Structure 1
Amino acid sequence: MKNLSFRHFLFLFLLNRFKGDRTIKSVFHLLNGKRSSQTIQDIKWYGLTEFFSMLPTWKLSVFEQETKWMENHLFIINSDNKAHMTKKGNIIVENYFNNYDWPPQVNGWKYGQTAAIFWKRLALLVQCLSFSLEENRSYVPVFDDRDIQQWLKQRWPRNKKDKKEMAFHLYNELFILLDKIPEKDAFLFTHRLSGHQHTGKTIQQLAGLMNQDPDESYFRFQATLHYLLANAHQTTYLKDTAAGLLQKHVLTDTAKKTNMYLQKGLTIQEIAAIRGLKRSTIEDHIVELASEGTDFIIDIYVSNHLQKDIMDTVQRIRTYRLKLIKEALESENVHADYFSIRVTLAYFGGIHENARTLSI
């Protein structure tokens, strides 16, 4: 490894956003899309939802080698199980991102899971329309996913006139939206599509063609999908392609199950016993619910007065490190366990963020 790549710059950028409060692996889990309670909390507390799962193919073994290289070359310091950038790291990241043309829409937390399905639907739709209008049935579908093909069958136009109309409007919808983003991103997206007498290129092929880092190409391609999903409501055919994919909030399956028991009035201890899980695991689920649940009632777990004390302390000491928050509260003779602090931070750092100011 001789030079820093896009993913290294992105890693350093995010590490800096953690302000020395988290471990090196916290950034890895964020970029890799690990849906753990801690990672979910981190992306909400530090305002990093857009970067969640944006580099899912970065293997841990490779990550550890590359971050060790960055540490040896004095870009980062890793001590006391916490990591932060050096002055050298700060300078190089600032220079790289100072005039960086960020994609107009990136939200891995909101669109990460749905973007892949949306892409498969759209790519197969475009390919099938292209070949069908040329009356050519001799081609291999870009995706052989049964669910995706079934989705297309349910919407497939009955005659050539309807196919032409669909193709015409879909083209216009894509043209209007792609015309508003950086040209390189539109190029990257359109050249991944396949059609009659045109085979879509891979990310690696396009990265080479554009003289762009493959990780950056992947990042920007995903961002374009996020952009299309965010603006699909303005259209007809893209909106239909995205139908059923978007959710207002995303919960892990295990948190959903815990929520089901909570709705029945069971206590944390009762749920832990029924599910055969530790109490701390159920508390993790509740923290996740506090962040994502629109109907979550925080007062059941943390008194309004303690909520205020916790949030005031966070604003005063300007950190999300639980131990430091707890110690600062105790110095003011305020008792709060870690669960209360986590629930409060999750609640006001999640979809309820407007309920009380939370900015560091």
Structure 2
Amino acid sequence: MQLPYAILYGLERTKGERTGSSMYHLLTGKRSSQTLQDGHMYGLSFLFGTYKRLDRQEYNRQIEALLTGGRLQQIQENTYVLTEDGKRWLDEAQQWAFPAHLDGLQYGEAGDMLWKRLNLIVQTLSHLQRRQSVFVPLVTDQSVTAWVRQFFLRAAHARAELAAALFAELHIALAQLPEQEAALFVSRLSGAERIGLTEEQLAQQRGMDPLRIHFLFLAVLHFLVRTAASAPRQYPLLHSIAAYKGEQLAALSASTERTYELWQQGRSLAEIARMRRLKLNTIEDHFVEIALHDRSFPMEQFLDADKAERIRCLMEELQTRKLRILKEHAGPDCSYFEIRLVLAAWGGQHEA
């Protein structure tokens, strides 16, 4: 029941202002400006990319089941709101509430990399401790194996000391988590004498929803990345393994990151569009994405304070984030780009 909970949770937040597809794109991690903006405005960014392998047909089946079961109501094509029964079930189904440290947008990519590197490092150390230099690595990604090889070459510790130091960091970090989450994480690690369990195996072993296991596991990864990033001196090994780029850049798509770099060099939107051979509205999409994540974004460079305040007041007065409605009321002097910037800056905040 974890997936129905996630769908209802997201659709309750969007309140019929986005299509049913919006939650699918968010869960699967579609890096479009619209999906990133939706996540920000409706407090759903923490779910971004947390279920990348979700099949669209399965998602649609879940929507149909929620409609048939009376928990969703269709208000127009591919647009839904929760019924009173759906709202009541969502409130009562707290066993499916999301883990506290789940944050897919900020820590998803770094968490994936942390897991690949850490799993291979632990497997390698385990074999070397037993003087077994030849083994079949469970992680075959060449970029990861190359990085791990360099990690061991750079290590200032002897192998036994390195193993002890890494164990100590993990022990201190995992001790801060609920026992269930820490145990699930450890069960997935592989060593010389055992192969870590898959999420499906853990779900079967514990009689739990596989997606619940997946969310709990991701929450641990995201916690480890955030913890190591905030205390690099306490967690030097985990900090180097995580490869976290920082809160702002971690949330930007690669193309937007390039636009951001050029903007920091003093380039205008038109200049960036010419240099990158992209349409101006594509660059505007990038700036909306930047405004979502840059807390010091200089809004005054794009629209005056009075206009920004007028748009913000309309959002509160009309209780909507729909572009079309806001544009109708804002007047001809307000462009869609200006409204989107205000939505990005003030439209919503992440909520755990």
Per-residue CA shift, 1:79-108, capped at 9, x if unaligned? 2343211111111111112x6564231110
The offset of 1:70, in angstroms, is 1.7
What aligned pairs does 1:151-162 form with structure 2 within 5 A after superposition? 151-156=147-152, 162=158
Give 2:242's aligned residue: 242
Structure 1 CA distance, aligned partners of 2:297 and 2:148? 37
Give 2:290's aligned residue: 289
Whether contact under 8 Å (2:248, 2:294) holds in the other structure is no
Counterpart selection for 1:85 from 67, 82, 85: 82
Does 2:70 correspond to 1:69? no
The offset of 1:343, in angstroms, is 0.9
Give 5+ residue unaligned stretches, structure 2: none
Give 1:323's aligned residue: 324
Give 1:55's aligned residue: 51
Give 2:92's aligned residue: 95
Change in Cα spacing, 1:156 to 1:254, as seen in structure 2 (3 Å) is: closer
What amino acid maps onto 1:320 in structure 2? R
Q: TM-score, normalised by structure 2?
A: 0.88
Counterpart selection for 1:114 from 110, 115, 122: 110
CA RMSD of aligned residues (A): 2.6
Q: TM-score, normalised by structure 1?
A: 0.87
Whether contact under 8 Å (1:326, 1:337) holds in the other structure is yes
Whether contact under 8 Å (2:110, 2:243) holds in the other structure is no
What aligned pairs does 1:137-148 form with structure 2 within 5 A after superposition? 137-148=133-144
Whether contact under 8 Å (2:27, 2:52) holds in the other structure is yes
Change in Cα spacing, 1:305 to 1:63, as seen in structure 2 (3 Å) is: same
3-state SS of paired residue (2:80): strand
Structure 2 CA distance, aligned partners of 1:153 and 1:95? 49
Give 5+ residue unaligned stretches, structure 1: none
What amino acid maps onto 2:236 in structure 1? T
Structure 1 CA distance, aligned partners of 2:223 and 2:3? 21
Whether contact under 8 Å (1:7, 1:215) holds in the other structure is yes
Structure 1 CA distance, aligned partners of 2:300 and 2:248? 23
Structure 1 CA distance, aligned partners of 2:155 and 2:108? 35
Structure 2 CA distance, aligned partners of 1:159 and 1:225? 23
Give 1:280's aligned residue: 281
What amino acid maps onto 2:308 in structure 1? Q
Structure with higher RCO (Cα < 8 A, 6+ apart): 2
3-state SS of paired residue (2:188): coil
Give me the identity figure in percent: 32
What amino acid maps onto 1:318 in structure 2? Q
Matched positions, count: 344
Give 1:254's aligned residue: 255
Structure 2 CA distance, aligned partners of 1:347 and 1:158? 42
Structure 2 CA distance, aligned partners of 1:32 and 1:48? 13
Give 2:305's aligned residue: 304
Counterpart selection for 2:172 from 176, 191, 202: 176
The offset of 1:303, in angstroms, is 1.2
The offset of 1:78, in angstroms, is 2.1
Give 1:185's aligned residue: 181
Structure 1 CA distance, aligned partners of 2:243 and 2:280? 38
Change in Cα spacing, 1:248 to 1:287, as seen in structure 2 (3 Å) is: closer
Per-residue CA shift, 1:152-179, capped at 9, x if unaligned? 2222169997211111121122122212
